Chain A
């Protein structure tokens, strides 16, 4: 991978990344009731991180983000499947979801659902898969 040294790009990337990442988390959380969800959120986070990789030195970013993406995929799959298994422990079918409304200070009434945990699993898998595939291909210099 080439080492880009583009001041404009790097400055802009620093600015953009904050917006992209926070928007992606918003998308993840808003998914159940508005546009968004784990898949979209994961992709957006991935594209945000990819912008970093594009504009900065590969090694620099690697030093900052120290995740083994394959492990993140595993964690995501665990999240998704364990949410499904959890309902089985209470005698419900696999992947049955539950939700209820709670009142939390400052935020007001909030809906909490086990589907969110499942979606979080999807988020992790999509995020890490996109990054892992692209970075593996990009890293390959043969």
Chain B
């Protein structure tokens, strides 16, 4: 049954259909205003589920799609899905509002923008609401496509295309691996449903395919969530308009990987491989991202690497938190702190990073640049933007009383707890984890200060900017970042607003079965825990960060700071160039442009495949050819047929050629008549007539027949291929005939003869098969024919002129 929740997930797609019309016929109103309604309504709709999910209820609405393959569009709404749904619709509404002022209705192609944006919104809702892995995969790829389309929104810029292509290659590579992983899970457990997989987790863990499935699924999650070393696509994705960066590339889409890992923790969690892979990748991403962010000079570049780093942080928390599955009923607080930190930081990151991206967008919009070397002294000119940025950056750096401080403290607690686990070799290696976390946090602090001071402090140097006057952004553009910044403060001061309404249900969804039904996880978030190691770590971060900042002049001229390109980009670039060169090489060696060469390839392939099949089944086995007598007239017809074919290579006159080929065609039709197949005969006759007409029509354009001199070696090859081909086809048909007589396969034609009248009401079996029994085939066939027509038309009408080449 299609329920309201299904419609909620699909509504953005429906809305997307309307956008082009709204854009075309209501040009005076910015299309964004129409779009805004949808996420707002959906946000309120999802808010209404909070009482239900926070009481531990799970909403499951089934809808069969392809039940025979285990693919169903089942909606599954629990704490985790709801958290994401609220993020997608809530941030979505703010971003749409912001975009109304960011994108001019006169200059921009708003219809494209909003169609892609809605497409993304729907796909993202599909990913997080679906219980079925295949449905998740489909929506997952749609988010990749929508993301690429949005990155290349300003498609005339070369960098946009580069970024779009890069994100497409990397995320689709991951998506396909993930599909492989899902298929392996299906092979193991026989289901695509996440609920059922979690229920069968023990059986899955025992399988030999467990590790391959895990790695493949993780590849999907890591590429999507920009984890090291796949993070390189995210900085290049910053070519997208800023609303897109704020929405897809920081708040929602890049968190799809995190969602997947969180969701599948119930399936894979509890084994050392899962723990170590995710924790390590997360931590490396964390430190790599924060160190790289320091090197960036572009505001959005800093934010991109910072997002990479923060995603790594959440990922590592999910990795360490998965240990809870190892202990099952152990000390919950010890392991679940990591999960709590992950969920809480997920929300906080969306709020402060969203506001920071919007602030960066405002600066770009008003000054025409995002380069921190050109910016400076904006505090007095843009006081509101400066305040928003200050709040966002302070939260990201982990300063009290903002929400980032709370989750950073929880993060440090989670990392410190790891040393107490006493499993998976953590006694010895465990200490590295909090150390890395701490170092990365120092760099996070550093780039936050850098970003603020370089943009807002110092002197405003108008000569470096393209614009004459710099002023504060219009009010409409400020509303969304102000709301987000306000949330940063509200969540910072009153974190327990979220504790049992949103965070606890999400934790329960990530770690199903850890506590018995009816119980709840203890969620206690506060600013002051006493003089704990975390507090000293935070103080250390601040002191060291400030020290680094004060001495920053010394580092500024180092090669490390001057370059900003990630070294992994060169890996991607050379891989990409290699792929292009390789494809060109492969194309060049086989595409000669001569039809006869292609025929040789095809024939050789057919010869080999037939030879292999015959070898495999011990053929040719022509044992009992129970043939009926062949009358003399049949021999005569066949003689003419063979003659008309044999003569073709020796004809030098085009008209004679056409006649000779059509003779063979018409004789085939005659054979059909003799074997009493009127439909086939009619079709063959008509095809022959039509092709003769075609020959006549194009005859005028064809060049004179030329003698081509073939070297003797080539002649031998051609002879062998022709003879081999003929031989194989003959042997193949004879064997098929003889096999059919030897085995007791009952022919399907009897079924058709018996049922054609009763079931389909037709006496002509051929036609009934075409339109009814195998109607789907015919349907696709006419589709192929139509595509062929379009191909022919475009080949001829859109031909390159002169020496143009691709």
Contacts and interface: CB of A to CB of B under 8 A. Distances in A.
Contacts of B682: 27, 35-36, 40
Given A113-B762, A125-B786, A54 B697 contact: yes
Nearest to B790: A70
A33 B772 contact: no
B799 interface: yes
B689 to A, nearest CB: 5
A113 B768 CA distance: 11
Contacts of A133: 788-789, 792-793
Contact of B796 (A35, A81, A128, A140): A140
B697 A138 contact: yes
Contacts of B686: 40, 43-44, 47
Contact of A43 (B690, B763, B789): B690
A140 to B, nearest CB: 5
B690 A70 contact: no
A80 interface: yes
Nearest to A51: B693
B786 A46 contact: no
Most chain B CB inside 10 Å of its own CB: which residue of A39, A77, A81: A39
Nearest to A117: B771
Interface in B565-615: none
Nearest to B781: A122
Contact of A138 (B683, B698, B786, B789): B698
A115 B762 contact: yes
Interface in B744-793: 760-764, 766-768, 770-772, 775-776, 778-779, 782-783, 785-786, 788-790, 792-793
Nearest to A137: B698
B694 interface: yes
Is chain A's interface secondary structure helix, strand, loop, or mixed overall?
helix
A85 to B, nearest CB: 11
Contacts of B762: 32-33, 99, 113, 115
A27 B771 CA distance: 15
Given A40-B679, A118-B771, A99 B697 contact: no
Interface in B696-724: 696-698, 700-701
A136 interface: yes
A33 B698 contact: no
Nearest to A45: B686
B701 A140 contact: yes
A126 B782 contact: yes
B190 interface: no
B483 interface: no
Contacts of B760: 97, 99, 113, 115
Contact of B690 (A46, A73, A76, A132): A46
Given A95-B776, A136-B793, A32 B697 contact: no
A36 B771 CA distance: 12
Nearest to A35: B678
Contacts of B782: 76-77, 80, 121-122, 125-126
Interface string A99-142: 10000000000010101001101100110111011101110111
B778 A36 contact: no
A37 B679 contact: yes
A38 B772 CA distance: 13
Nearest to A140: B796
A33 B701 CA distance: 43
Nearest to A37: B767
A33 B757 CA distance: 9
A35 B764 contact: yes
Contacts of B775: 84, 95, 97, 115, 118
A69 to B, nearest CB: 8
B685 to A, nearest CB: 9
A34 interface: yes
B693 A47 contact: yes
Nearest to A112: B761
A1 interface: yes
A47 B685 CA distance: 11
Contacts of B678: 35
Interface in B713-747: none
Contacts of B778: 80, 118, 122
Nearest to B757: A33
A126 B686 CA distance: 12
A129 B783 contact: no
Contacts of B776: 94-95
A126 B683 CA distance: 12
A2 interface: yes
Contacts of A97: 760, 771-772, 775
A61 interface: no
B33 to A, nearest CB: 34
Nearest to A30: B764
Given A39-B770, A137-B697, A34 B796 contact: no
Contacts of B785: 125-126, 129
Contact of A99 (B700, B761, B770, B793): B761
B529 interface: no
Given A35-B679, A84-B775, A1 B690 contact: no
A70 B61 CA distance: 43
Given A35-B679, A70-B793, A77-B786, A111 B761 contact: yes
A50 interface: yes
A97 B678 CA distance: 24
Given A97-B771, A134-B697, 8 more contacts: A27-B682, A31-B767, A36-B764, A54-B697, A113-B760, A125-B782, A126-B785, A140-B796
The 7 closest A-B pairs by CB, nearest first: A99-B761, A138-B697, A35-B678, A43-B686, A32-B762, A33-B763, A125-B782
Interface of B: 678-679, 682-683, 686-687, 689-690, 693-694, 696-698, 700-701, 760-764, 766-768, 770-772, 775-776, 778-779, 782-783, 785-786, 788-790, 792-793, 796-797, 799
18 contacts: A1-B697, A1-B700, A35-B678, A37-B767, A38-B770, A39-B770, A50-B693, A54-B697, A84-B779, A95-B775, A125-B785, A125-B786, A130-B690, A132-B792, A134-B690, A136-B793, A137-B796, A138-B694
